[in-house]
Structure 1
Amino acid sequence: MKKGGYTQSRADHTLFIRKRNGKLTTLIVYVDDMVITGDDKEEIKRLKEVLAAEFEIKDLGQLRYFLGIEVARSKEGIYICQRKYILDLLQETDMLGCRPADTPIEPNHGVQESVGEDYLDKERYQKLVGKLIFLSLTRPNIAYAVHVVSQFMHNPKIPHMKAVERILRYLKSCLGKGILFRKNDRIEVEGYTDADWAGSVGDRKSTSGYCTFVGGNLVTWRSKK
């Protein structure tokens, strides 16, 4: 990619970018899956030919599914979600028939590190939380709850597992929710942040959160203790 005039992103080493005649072409790769996009149609065609000459590749056409992320296009814009991923997760955990929850975590939950009996299947807890972390790539509405349960990966207890199950029950209530990227004329960058100020009962530390919009579209978000 570098020999072909592409620059490797410092923020994500799997992302390659090329600017030519005021137009942009990008490629992002994960193991043997890649996405090519941009507004330089000639360069995209050339890049595909270069890759085909070097590797055995298959062009699957317009992006519809990538690493568990579903992509849909309409006049409104591009919509991404992980509905199938959630259904598979609920089936794996035998929670397809569970009672849905209205929120991903209880208000004033008070989940602490040292409260409750040990949850004996530590590996299962870690696996589930890992999958929820990946799911939060398209679901900012679970970012805080996932951040809470991810703090107890080393020593999970039964209340922590109950909190994980609460997230799964919430996901059942909103399977198809995701993020819509609209094409707008404006490109302003907006950021919002807040903190709960010593909200942790155990150590009196704060949890802060932020989200960033570019042109009215949500692009980054995070919750951090």
Structure 2
Amino acid sequence: MDPRALLRRGQTVVLEAPLHRQKLVCVVDGAAVDRLFLVSLVGSEGPSVFEPGQIVVGYAQTPIRVYQFESVVLQSQSQPTPTVVIAMPDTLTPVQRRRFFRVEVLFVAQLMSKDDPRAPAVSATGVDISAGGLGVSVDRADLYPEFPQEIGKPVRVVCALPPVEGELPEPTKVEAIGEIVWVTRHERWLRMGIAFIDIDPKVREHIVAWCFAFQRRLLRMGLLSPRRDTSRRRE
């Protein structure tokens, strides 16, 4: 894929500095023929580890997949606007979205029928989330007969991801339309994987930022290896 077709103003990019094992969530602020101008979404501390001449790996997400690229830092500054300038990558390589953006976390969610706005909401426990979707667990006793439970059925999802100490002090609110992509039934619980099919791009960006902030917190606490894959495996 031509990098210039995706890496345009407003596109979210996650930069990784392998040497320092640091990640930085940015947004493309502008582009020239040979370089990209990225503004940090998580404050002024991040750009300080991205020094000129440093090799970086970047990830950019579309609604259907994530692309990876390699580049080199040309400039960086923390003030007045936290900015990193990198060389325009030569190419983008598709990678598995779940590998980089899904994290396991418990949160409260509400599921509603997309087709019947009068139908009651069903309480669920979120067990993982990414910018592409989420996994939930529902007590089967709370389900009513008409509630969508089959693969391919659309559902409305509302949830709030917990604050991340030191980075995101307020809950991250998520509201989207999703499609059920897998279902596992247990004696008491129903487990479902839901892929987002209609979501505000800004909400998707907030999920990306939240996932990486949450992973950084786990790293600081020593609860996550920097190279651990946090993708949830289907039961």
TM range (shorter): under 0.3
Q: Which has the higher helix share?
A: 1
TM-score (norm 1): 0.26
TM-score (norm 2): 0.26
Structure showing greater radius of gyration is 1
